[in-house]
Amino acid sequence: MSENTGDNNVKNVLVTGASGLLGGAVAALLRAQGHRVRTFQRRPSPGATDDVLGSLTDPAAVRRAVSGMDAVIHLAAKVSFTGSWHDFVATNITGTTTLLQAAQNAGVRDFVFVSSPSVAHFGTAISGAGAGVANPDLAHGNYARSKAAAELAALAADRADFRVTAIRPHVVWGPGDTQLVERVIQRAKDSRLPLLDGGAALIDTTYIDNAASAIVRGLERMNQAHGRALVVTNGEPRPVGELMAGICVAGGAKAPAFSVPGWLARGAGSVIERIWAAVGAAHLVNDEPPMTKFLAEQLSTAHWFDQRETREVLDWVPAVSLDEGLERLAAHYGAASMKSNSN
């Protein structure tokens, strides 16, 4: 990566959702670079010295959070395969527009909206495409639909004195990840992790450190990035079965060995979603459903992206390869196992 030619004077940065894995990594990287970081979320975040606790659904709390800030990196969101549309709207759409308006009123200069490639994934294969245009009418699932609407609202607010970019990290994982890694490993240990269509679908993923550095780079390169949506990945497409096997082995589980046809999983996912909605997840298990139509699509459909525009605009390349990431993951679980055995 060449010398930074972007804006280097951002000092007061608000990070929403910093109690999550990616938000925490972004906040830590900003602090390491010398920025003054304020965090905003519903529960305290590790390492925070300036924490504003509250919800995106509380306009007064949002106004307190943005006061005195030069920039906002917005990661807070309702992330789930299931849930009522009303809840997704309240946090992901209305919450984002509330934050955008409060930031403009407070004189914030730059706004990084952390989005998802799912906002432009409509169920068919993506093989080497660019970011694509977010479309809430075509996106699959309430999370993707709500994030698509929020991204459109964010980019529509872009102007000379309030610059907005959307960064879409794809399938972020790493040590400490409970959304993907922990579920993959636990379901493998419980023999509840099938491959779909033999795990042959080619997919991109993003190691946590790379995702965090790309998001911060979006802020540093706002001159070049504002008004754009950029997909961020490691740029190393792999068969989904190979990736899941690597995660399982790193976590001390056996790789999935049985396969289910993708069409069958998609149909079953649709049925399970209806049952979850009718009965209520709280009355079933304290977890996401074992399968949804959206998840089945993600596991059985190719989705990998052309990274040339992203790397040119951000003047950035990922620093951690997938193989190195898996080694770090194995070291993380090995250290955790040693600690557990010593207690």
Q: What is the DSSP string of 221-241?
A: THHHHTT-EEEE--S--EEHH
Catalytic residue among 88, 113, 143, 304: 143
pLDDT at 263: 60
Give the pLDDT confidence of 297-319 residue by residue, as tens digits.
777 788 899 999 999 999 999 99
pLDDT at 271: 64
pLDDT of residue 15 exceeding 70: yes
- Alpha-carbon 101 to chain mean position: 23
Residue 179 or 169, more confident:
169
Give the pTM: 0.89
DSSP state of 271: H
Under 8 Å between Cβ of 247 and 208? no
The structural domains of the chain, ordered by start, are 12-173+206-233+305-319 (3.40.50.720)
Under 8 Å between Cβ of 247 and 178? no
Mean pLDDT, rounded, for 233-244: 94
Under 8 Å between Cβ of 215 and 169? yes
How far is it, in rounded angstroms, from Cα 154 to Cα 295? 26
Known catalytic residue at 333: no
Encoding tokens for residue 155? 């980019």
pLDDT at 276: 58
pLDDT of residue 98 exceeding 70: yes
Encoding tokens for residue 288? 């996401």
What is the average pLDDT score of the chain? 87
